[in-house]
Amino acid sequence: MRIKQTKVYQYDELSDKAKEKARDWYREGNCEDSYWSESVIDDAATVAGFLGLDINQEAYKTIGGETRHKPAVYFSGFWSQGDGACVEGTWRASDVKVDKLKEHAPQDKEHAPQDKELHRIVEGLAEIAREYPDGYFKVTHRGHYSHSGCTAFDIELPCEAFDEAEYDSPEHKRLDKKISQDQDTLIKLARDFMDWIYKQLEKEWDYQNSDAQVEESIRCNEYEFLKDGTRA
């Protein structure tokens, strides 16, 4: 048996080249862990509620065997053509809450009161909700990718005037065309929201993997390294 002594270093004791290797090691582990996305997804689910969209909850098992639930938000990123985000859930016109969105400002996230894209989406949904107060849709994930285009919609926009119009009359045809257009608008707004979620995830990913944040995490965890930056 032999005893070998090896010098280990704190991050700030490394050379610039070794620091780069240490940051790469940390990022590689960060890629395999989804903890960084949890707060973004939870906030997106809250915002979705103000838009009238109730995102489904998925059951999953923790390492300890406990059953928990998380929002059905699927994503991949952030470097391939098929990357994106999508959700599964149910939208109801009666649940759209424009004022609640304007009031929403989670800690360190001012996007809800200020984000123009988000307010464009909710105003568009509110307009449809006013015209079809009993409207709803269900959205499900389809396909191998996770972007917003990989979703299927089951939409109902009940319209009393359409039901009462004489079949195949000019008014019936006009309303039929309008309802179809409004359904397309509803799908686009929903997918725009999914794209918005993806942008929030991408922003958080970039932040978590920035040199400054990686260095702070390494220091806080007091990781030690060999001289060349290899994790000790």
**One digit per residue, pLDDT tens: the chain, 232 residues?**
888 888 988 999 989 999 999 999 998 877 666 778 898 999 999 999 999 999 999 987 777 778 888 999 999 878 888 899 999 999 999 999 888 777 765 444 555 556 888 889 999 999 999 999 999 999 999 988 999 999 999 999 999 998 888 999 999 999 999 999 999 999 999 999 999 999 999 999 998 889 998 999 899 999 999 999 899 8
52 located within any domain = yes
175 located within any domain = yes
230 located within any domain = no
Domain range holding 54?
A: 9-60+67-225
199 located within any domain = yes
> Cα(102)–Cα(76) distance, rounded to whole angstroms?
29
46 located within any domain = yes
Regarding pTM above 0.75, the answer is yes
190 located within any domain = yes
The pLDDT assigned to 60 comes to 77
14 located within any domain = yes
Residue 224's SS3 state is: strand
Q: Are 36 and 204 a contacting pair, CB within 8 Å? A: yes
- Omega before 78 within 30 of 0, i.e. cis: yes
Token digits for 185?
């608008």
The pLDDT assigned to 157 comes to 96
Phi, psi of 144 (to 5 degrees): -90, -20
The pLDDT assigned to 35 comes to 78
CA angle 174, 175, 180 (to 5 degrees): 105
The pLDDT assigned to 174 comes to 94
78 located within any domain = yes
Tally the domains of the chain.
1
CB-neighbour burial class of residue 139 (10 A; exposed 0-12, middle 13-18, buried 19+): buried
Token digits for 232?
């000790």
